[in-house]
């Protein structure tokens, strides 16, 4: 069965510093890949997605992610973190054979931003 | 409405009580999804509708869980004879397409079963 691993439960980054959140997936074929962000009291918001093509994907709020097939990874990056980026980030995969209707989410990484 | 609306925002139920959670998707969105998010976990898929048809209910944990979307718009997730392990945040999401390409999530209903 497919699974998603986000090895970091919490990450603290200084404001203005760069950020990388890790995501590894286990699946027989390359699934569709997503990153969602969840702010307190808010619903999840899609940051970016990868279906095919260019392995470096640009998203909203200055985020990007790189798909690496050889490492089964889809890490999220941002060059300069803002205090408003403090939130919980979820990586998700969607099996291609279901039209990504049934997403499998990781357990999330909580980002804390220090002044 | 501007986004996916879920009600109630919080629900406290005594063990054994039935509950009904409502989801108002974005107008015109064809697909509707329910996810369950336990404390400290990522969301887990429960069920999926395309218009009024429930195409996948493989994630419903037991036959105490039932979801409907009779007119292809508002959806209700019903849990009968609630148990403590049902305590979680229940998230509803909708999508314009027939797929989950871009999901718009509601803020969720936090269910606490005492």
Residue-averaged pLDDT of chain A: 92
Alpha-carbon distance B91 to nearest alpha carbon in chain A (angstroms): 8
pLDDT at B100 over 70: no
Structure tokens, B12: 């406290």
Beta bridge partners of B94: B32, B104
Question: d(Cα B57, Cα A24) in Å, to the nearest integer?
Answer: 27
- DSSP per residue over A54-111, as a string? -SEEE-GGG-EEEEEGGGTEEEEEESS--GGG-EEEEEEEE-GGGTT-S-EE---EEE
Instruction: Return the pLDDT at B1.
Output: 53
**Residue A92 and residue B42: Cβ atoms within 8 Å?**
yes
Question: d(Cα A5, Cα A73) in Å, to the nearest integer?
Answer: 9
Phi, psi of A83 (to 5 degrees): -60, -30
Closest CA to B99 of B26, B43, B32, B35: B32
pLDDT at A24 over 70: yes
**Residue B42 and residue A46: Cβ atoms within 8 Å?**
no
Q: Contacts of residue B110 in chain A, CB cutoff 8 Å?
A: none
- In tens, the pLDDT along A33-87 reads 999 999 988 889 999 999 888 999 999 999 999 999 999 999 999 999 999 999 9
Beta bridge partners of B23: B6, B75
To the nearest 10°, report the CA torsion of B64, B77, B72, A99: -80
**Residue A44 and residue B4: Cβ atoms within 8 Å?**
no
pLDDT bucket at B87, cuts 50 / 70 / 90:
very high
Q: Contacts of residue A46 in chain B, CB cutoff 8 Å?
A: 102-103
Question: d(Cα B60, Cα B49) in Å, to the nearest integer?
Answer: 13
Q: Contacts of residue B3 in chain A, CB cutoff 8 Å?
A: 43
- In tens, the pLDDT along B10-53 reads 999 999 999 999 999 999 999 999 999 999 899 999 999 999 99
Contact A2, A95 (CB under 8 A): yes
Measured between its terminal Cα atoms, the distance across chain B in Å is: 33
**Residue A107 and residue B45: Cβ atoms within 8 Å?**
no
Q: Which residue has the tokens 């060059």?
A: A79
């Amino acid at each position: 069965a497919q699974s998603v691993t986000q090895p970091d439960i919490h990450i603290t980054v200084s404001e203005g510093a760069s950020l990388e959140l890790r995501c590894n997936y286990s699946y027989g074929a390359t699934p569709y890949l997503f990153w969602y962000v969840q702010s307190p009291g808010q619903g999840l918001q899609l940051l970016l997605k990868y279906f095919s093509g260019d392995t470096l994907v640009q998203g909203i709020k200055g985020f990007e992610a790189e798909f690496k097939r050889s490492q089964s990874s889809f890490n999220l990056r941002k060059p300069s973190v803002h205090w408003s980026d403090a939130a919980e980030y979820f990586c998700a995969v969607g099996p291609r054979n279901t039209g990504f209707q049934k997403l499998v989410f990781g357990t999330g990484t909580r980002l804390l931003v220090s002044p | 409405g501007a986004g996916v609306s879920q009600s109630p925002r919080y629900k406290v139920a005594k063990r054994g009580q039935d509950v009904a959670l409502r989801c108002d998707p974005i107008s015109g969105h064809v697909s509707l999804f329910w996810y369950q998010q336990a404390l400290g976990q990522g969301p887990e898929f429960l069920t999926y509708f395309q218009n009024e048809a429930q195409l996948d209910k493989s994630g419903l944990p037991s036959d105490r869980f039932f979801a409907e979307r009779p007119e292809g718009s508002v959806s209700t997730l019903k849990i009968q004879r609630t148990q403590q392990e049902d305590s979680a945040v229940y998230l509803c999401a909708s999508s314009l397409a027939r797929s989950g390409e871009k999901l718009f999530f509601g803020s969720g209903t936090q269910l606490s079963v005492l």
